[in-house]
Amino acid sequence: MRTISQIQVGLRAREFSAVEIAREALAHAERQNPSTNAFLSLSHERAIAAAEHVDAQLSAGGELGLLGGVPVAVKDVISTKGLKTTCGSRMLENYIPPYDATAIERLEAAGGVIIGKANCDEFAMGSSNENSAYGPVRNPVDLERVPGGSSGGSAAAVAQGSVPVSLGSDTGGSIRQPASFCGVVGVTPTYGRVSRYGLVAFASSLDHIGPFATNVSDAAALLQVIAGRDQMDATSAPVQVPDYLAALQNTDVRGMKVGVPVEYMRQATGDTAARIQESIQALRDLGCEVRDISLPNTEYAIAAYYIICTAEASANLARYDGVRYTARSKQSGTLHEMYANTRGEFFGPEVKRRIMLGTYVLSHGYYDAYYKKAQQVRALITRDFSNAFAEVDAIVAPVSPFPAFKIGEKVDDPVAMYLSDIYTITGSLAGIPCMSVPCGNTSEGLPVGLQILCGHFEESRMFQLANAFEKHRGNSAVQ
């Protein structure tokens, strides 16, 4: 698949049309899907109509939008009017939203062409994309391995070359970890930078929408389009969106202070640790001032996160009761039986596990001991980052302690699965911008991602450092 720039240069030169690009992307996705299961549905009519509109604008002498003619995949937890949005669950198997998410409206207004909805862990709950009710996604790099989760389909769609960019969602690492496992770029923007209107809620204080791409520039372009205040989302921040693409013009990062958390490096071993150390040396070669820093409350992050996110999931998923827009059990004699049977039949094991845990920590007598304490820990973790960013401009770390693992390897051990998010959860709890950029492969050829974290609303600095690193390595995403 071509990059955004290559597509737009070709469109302007009339080497091909937007419709031809859309058909090429759809055909490629159809060919790959039996192997990877990256897409839950393809939107032929919507894609061709959007592409025809781009071609008509060009024929009339109009300007291409920032995403004009660019095929895009969308994680199936983001509402798309007229297209099924299942959240990877049997509960919403036939749900068709009556509206588009704000991110979708902005994407299509910029000329983006949505070719389909990407597979994901059910209700975005998972770290491997094995929790989808419609089967696991397989990593295009190695079909026996997971692509990461929960946005595994979005990452795989880019890695397999069906689209140059895609939209995912991130609650505790669900963009960065799949990006690392699949060898692509993934960006989790500052909480509030992108509207959550139309994103099906998992944990409202943690959920983000963000881009996947084959390179840093394309990720920056997609974020440029979807970022900004939205009156439909009270949590979207009234903060001006800078020109991210302009920030990429400056590749001189000499003197930039980069911190390496000692708590993160203790856990990384083997090839993952080797690639991260090589990346740190590359940053030194670029002229960055690299120093060790401490984020002392990191050890409490997993426990705090899985209390906060499950508590919010318990509240958010109460709406799926069989009454309104969900599936409904046929084995129901009373209202109570209908509720219980519907949720028992149509929610998967991981969703049930998180609802029960969240309900428990919010219950009378346990709220202060668990949920309140977890929020206090969250404040301490946020303070750790604030203190660190008073000393450094950016932080670099691994994305995951290990590369993509084999399908089925951790599925029966929820704790081991949860620990795969140990490096990504802290940034999510603090609400800061974070991203994964490819930094090499293991001896088995499995991708490793370097995580870059910056202060609130400092995506431009994050992109600048990532772009300089990418160009220094001569890196390209797995195709």
**Residues carrying an active site annotation:** 75, 150, 174
Rg (CA), the chain: 21
Token pair for 1: 């698949």
Distance CA 378, CA 430 (A): 7
Residue 51's nearest CA partner among 35, 67, 38 is 67
Name the CA dihedral angle for 66, 69, 75, 81, rounded to a multiple of 10 degrees.
100
| Residue 360, number of CB atoms within 10 A of its CB | 14
Answer for the pair 289, 301: CB distance below 8 angstroms, yes or no.
no
Answer for the pair 248, 463: CB distance below 8 angstroms, yes or no.
yes
Give the residue carrying structure tokens 């140059």: 164
Answer for the pair 121, 135: CB distance below 8 angstroms, yes or no.
no
3-state secondary structure 358-421: HHHHHCCCCCHHHHHHHHHHHHHHHHHHHHHHCCCCEEEEECCCCCCCECCCCCCCHHHHHHCC
Answer for the pair 88, 118: CB distance below 8 angstroms, yes or no.
no
CA 321 to centroid of chain Cα atoms: 27
Distance CA 222, CA 464 (A): 15
Answer for the pair 468, 286: CB distance below 8 angstroms, yes or no.
yes
Instruction: State the number of CA atoms in the 13 A half-sphere of 260 facing the CB.
Output: 21
Q: Which residues pair with 451 in a beta bridge?
A: 397, 436
Residue 430's nearest CA partner among 466, 393, 380 is 380
- Cα separation values, 332 from 329, 335, 338, 340, 395, Å: 6, 7, 5, 9, 54
Answer for the pair 268, 448: CB distance below 8 angstroms, yes or no.
no
